[in-house]
Amino acid sequence: MKTALIYPYIKRSFNGCNPPLSILYLAASLRQAGKEVMVLDVDEDNLSYPAIVDRLVKYEPQLVGIPLFSTELMHAYEFVKLLKAKNNLWQILIGGPHATASPEEVMNIFNCDFVLRGESENSLVRLTNCIERNDRFDSVGGLTFKKNGKVYSNPASDVNQNLDDIPFPARDLLKTAYSKKTYWRIGHRGTTDIMITSRGCPFNCNFCFKVEKKFRFRSPENVLEELITIRSKGIRNVHFMDDLFLVPRTRCIKILKLIKEEKLEIKFKVRARVDLIDEELLIAMKEAGVIAVVYGIESGSQKMLDLMNKKTTVAMNRNAINLTRKKGLQCYTDILIGYPGETPDTILETEKLLLDTKPTAIKISVMYPFPKTTVYNQAKEQGKLIGDWDIKDTRPWIKLPWAENLDSIYSYSKRIFHNYLLNPKVFFNAVRYTILQLDFQQLKSIMLYLKIHLSLR
């Protein structure tokens, strides 16, 4: 039996392009179980949907799987419709965050054959076994399926408690994409790969949708082994994507020590919580090759941090940024505005924090509540949710008393970014750490992104 796993969404942006790590993990588990699998990434050759379908026709899979994100409902719907029109014998599987949050709705709207909820390495292998043997699907954990026209959802799948048992992502199935330097991040010359060293999260931020709360982590030795594999392919840049890379602290220190001893000559970017960082960790990071740290500080207002249930303080945000810059590391900050309770005054507090601390770069997101998150559920119950996620590419937002429309909130986002870049030191660093680090391939990617973006306007 052949399975095709497709990432049908353009990830390319002005900031770069990441490999589709989630489906590479699934592909690796299928292959370990002796299954035949193909992976296609729309960014690999700037593939159009008809071009992907043509490749599927040649490959002749029985099962075609795609991830589903709330922000990509329209594109996913059009792609699935195209698949079904081409060959109704292809069985369509949908997974990912949105499918996990709303499995029955996805089954009905997309008219797909299966939905897999949550982490799916084990359940996907079981599903393919059932299809091959024509067995019942009742034993496949996390599976939502139709039987006699009725939708059934099995109990949640059993997740891997020992992450070291999961095979490394099957990056070789996207060999062409890697050889063409498809995957890169602004500020890093050459190909940039991504890794995760942990799964789950014990924190309860109200805007975050969590598939699995229990925190699990890979051993330092297992992390190093994957890094050595990546380095052997000539890759010099790696971004650790997990928010809790620093946890447990002893594990983090051990990983950094092993990297330093191995002399991998890789430049790293890591994500971290502001309440977990300190001088010792930053020194160890720098010695291991870390050049940048990303903090989800979200706001410069204590009122907003408390409403979001971040369990952090403005003082922690300020200290993390200042300490990171003091130790000579680039500091990136993620900001969220438009959360319920936000006012022009709280936004001004955030702007002031950024202007005072001058992080290397900022990313400002306007609040779009994702399905099944605490903030989404509360806004819906209170009648403050404007619109909802659907296949017409609409996005919900939360009505704020002072905002006439969504553009009112966006205007503050633009103002913050504008005032931030007006600072000469910030602007100089932006040029130094981004534009001057671009190579020819990355410039081509940016020009292609701009061409596509401008053609859609």
Where in the chain are the domains? 2-153, 187-455
227-265 confidence digits (pLDDT tens)? 999 999 999 999 999 989 999 999 999 999 999 999 999
- Can you give the pLDDT at residue 158? 85
- Can you give the pLDDT at residue 16? 77
Residue 17 has pLDDT above 70, yes or no: yes
Residue 225 has pLDDT above 50, yes or no: yes
The CATH code of the domain at 187-455 is: 3.80.30.20
Residue 126 has pLDDT above 60, yes or no: yes
Q: Spell out the long-range contacts of 109-113 with Cβ–Cβ below 8 A and sequence spacing 24 or more.
A: 109/77, 109/391, 110/76, 110/77, 110/80, 111/80, 111/84, 112/80, 113/145, 113/146
**Residues 148 and 207: beta-carbon distance below 8 Å:** no
The CATH code of the domain at 2-153 is: 3.40.50.280
End-to-end CA distance of the chain: 43
Nearest to 49 by CA among 16, 33, 72, 27: 72
Torsion sign, CA atoms 290, 294, 300, 305: negative
419-453 confidence digits (pLDDT tens)? 998 888 887 876 776 665 666 655 665 565 455 44
- Can you give the pLDDT at residue 435? 61
Same fold, 2-153 and 187-455: no
Cβ–Cβ contacts within 10 Å for residue 204, how many? 12
**Residues 366 and 347: beta-carbon distance below 8 Å:** no
Question: For the chain, what is the mean pLDDT?
Answer: 92
- What's the pTM? 0.94
Residue 455 has pLDDT above 70, yes or no: no
Identify the H or E element spanning 434: none
328-371 confidence digits (pLDDT tens)? 999 999 999 999 999 999 999 999 999 999 999 899 999 999 99
Residues 6+ apart with CB under 8 A from 134: none
Nearest to 282 by CA among 321, 339, 233, 336: 321
